[in-house]
A = this chain, B = another copy of it.
Amino acid sequence: MAARVILYVLFVVALITVVCCSSATLKPADTPYKVQYVEQYVDNFNFVSYGQRTYKQRVLVSDTYWEKSKGPIFFYTGNEGPITAFWEASGFVKELAAKFKALLVFAEHRYYGESLPFGNRSFTGENIGLLSVEQAMADYARLMTGMRTQLGCESPDVCPIITFGGSYGGMLSAYMRFKYPNLVTGALAASAPIYLVAGLTEEHQFFQDVTEDFRKSDAHCPLKVQSAFVQMDELAAEGQQGLKEISDRFRLCSPLTDRQDLSHLYGWVRNSFTTLAMLDYPYRTAFEAKLPANPVNVACGLILNSSDLLKGLSQAAGLVYNGTDGTLECFDIFQEFIACADPTGCGLGDDSTAWDYQACTEVTLLESTNNVTDMFPPHNYTAEARAEYCRDTFGVTPRPDWMGIQFWGKNILSSSNIIFSNGDLDPWRRGGVLTNLSSSLVAITIEGGAHHLDLRGTNPADPASVTQARQQEEALIGQWISQATNQVWEGPTTK
C-alpha cells in the first residue's frame, strides 16, 4: 500500500528524533517536547485538484511519560492558533499524561501557526478553500493512524487514543469521536459550543452571559458600562467636537472621524470585555492577552472607581490591549481590533484571517446585542449581514445548515465516551452540552470556572470546583482506557 508506506516512512524520520527524558523530578509544566513536521495531503478529499501535493503539519510530541507501545496517546486536536499556545495552556493534559504514562501529541490545525498548506500564499484566492473542519479532521485521522503503526501500537488493545481540546479544539475532540471512533476511544471536549456553532442557540444569549459575568463582579458594573455607551452616543451626536472628546478621554492615537469609527470603538470595547469574561481566571495568565488575576473584577474596579466614565471604560478595555505591563502611550483601535465574521472577534494576523474564513463558511457564529439583556450597544448580526460580509471578504457564501448536518446538531446520543465540561463564568457554555445525555456522554459544570479552565495546569488559586472536575475527568478517562485495554482500572498508575 504505497501511500501508507510513504506516510510511515516520514514517521520514522520524524519520531526517532524524540528524546526520552526521565520523568522522576520533572514538573508537568516543564514537560519537554520535540517538534515534528508531518507530511499531509493538501487536499484529503479530492485526488485530482492537488494530486499528491503535501504540506508539513507541525506536531508537538513528548514521550516523557509514555509506556512505550502500550500507554495511551493523549492527542490535543489543535484549534485556531499556533499549537505551542495550546501546549502552554493545557497543563492538565500533561499532569494526566504523567499519571497514565501517556504519549503527548499536540497537532496543529492546518492554516494556523506554521501548518500552512501553501506557505505565505495560503490565504489568497482558491488556496484558502482547503481550510475546513473536515480537512483538519482528516489530517488528524491520518496522523493517528500513521503514529499507531509507527510506534508499535497496531494491536487495538494498546495505546488507546484520547482526544483533548478547548473551545473549537474541544469541538474537534468531540467530532473526532463522532466521526472516527475507530481511532478515538474517548474525548475531553472542554468549553465546546457544539450547539451554538450549528446555529441551534438563541442569538442574544452569548453577550447576555458576558454581561452577567460583569454583574456577578458588581451589580453596578454593567449599568455603568451602559451609561458610558449612552454618554458616547450623546457626545457623538454633537459631531466632530464630541468625537474628539471621546477620542481624548479614550486615549486614542488618532481621533474618531465619523459614526463608523465610533462603531469600531464599540467593537473594540466589546471584544475586550468578551475576552475578559472568557479568560476570567483566578490567577495571572498570558493565553491570549497578559491579564491580571480575576480580570473582570479588575475591569469593574477601574470602571466603578474612575471619576471619568469614559476613561474608566478605556482603562478597563485596555486590560486586554495594553496588557499587565501597560506600555501603550495610546490605543490604535484599528490595529488592536479587526471586525470579522465572528462577532466575538478573530484576533490578529494570518490566524485571524483563517478563523474569519471558517466563520464565513462552516462555523456559524451569529451572536447579537440588544442593550436590553446585555450592556452593549444594539447590534443585530443577521445571517444576511454575515453572508454579505463573507461574499465581500472571501467571495464565499455561508452554508448555515451544514454544521448541524455534518456534526449531528443535537442528535448525538449514538456517540459515547465524551466529557463536555463548561465553566459557569464562560459565555460560551450555553452553546454546549450542559446535562448528562447518557452514562458516557457526561456534562461537567465548573462553578467559578472561565473558558476551559479545567485544561489548565493545577494552580494554588484553583477553585475547589475545577479540582473536583479534573478528578472526575481523570476517573472517566481512566475507565475508558481500562475498557479499551481490557484492564481493571485501579486509579492512576502513578501519583
Contacts and interface: CB of A to CB of B under 8 A. Distances in A.
Contacts of A130: 46
A1 B51 contact: no
A362 B411 CA distance: 29
Nearest to A8: B401
A399 interface: yes
Nearest to A52: B397
Contact of A401 (B126, B145, B414): B145
A230 interface: no
A125 to B, nearest CB: 8
Contacts of A125: 48
A461 interface: no
A401 B7 contact: yes
A397 B51 contact: yes
Contact of A128 (B7, B48, B199): B48
A492 to B, nearest CB: 25
Contact of A47 (B2, B47, B397, B405): B397
Interface in A131-150: 132, 134-135, 138, 141-142, 145
A220 interface: no
Interface stretch (A105-113, A179-187, A247-255, A451-459): A179-187
A408 B181 contact: yes
B411 A47 contact: no
A59 B411 CA distance: 26
A488 interface: no
Contacts of A360: 47
Given A406-B141, A412-B182, A397 B2 contact: yes
Interface of A: 1-4, 7, 41, 45-49, 51-52, 125-126, 128-130, 132, 134-135, 138, 141-142, 145, 156, 179-183, 199, 360-362, 383-384, 387, 394-402, 404-406, 408-409, 411-412, 414-416
A412 B156 CA distance: 12
Q: Assembly of this chain: how many copies? A: 2
B48 A4 contact: no
A401 B46 contact: no
A297 B292 CA distance: 84
B361 A4 contact: no
A142 B405 contact: yes
24 contacts: A1-B383, A1-B401, A2-B398, A3-B398, A4-B401, A45-B45, A45-B135, A46-B130, A46-B132, A47-B132, A47-B396, A48-B128, A48-B394, A49-B126, A51-B395, A51-B396, A138-B406, A141-B405, A145-B404, A181-B408, A182-B408, A182-B414, A183-B411, A414-B416
Contacts of A199: 1
A387 to B, nearest CB: 6
Contacts of A1: 199, 383, 400-401
A138 B179 CA distance: 13
A3 B397 contact: yes
A182 B409 contact: yes
Contacts of A411: 156, 181-183
A128 B48 CA distance: 8
Contacts of A129: 46-49
A199 B1 CA distance: 9
A465 to B, nearest CB: 31
B405 A45 contact: no
Contacts of A398: 2-3
Contact of A402 (B3, B49, B361): B3
Scoring A46, A52, A387, A396 by chain B CB atoms within 10 A of each residue's CB, the highest score goes to: A46
A405 B156 CA distance: 14
Contacts of A414: 181-182, 416
A406 to B, nearest CB: 7
A396 to B, nearest CB: 4
Contacts of A409: 182
B182 A134 contact: no
Nearest to A138: B406
Contacts of A402: 3
Nearest to A364: B1
B132 A383 contact: no
A154 to B, nearest CB: 12
Nearest to A416: B414
A264 to B, nearest CB: 26
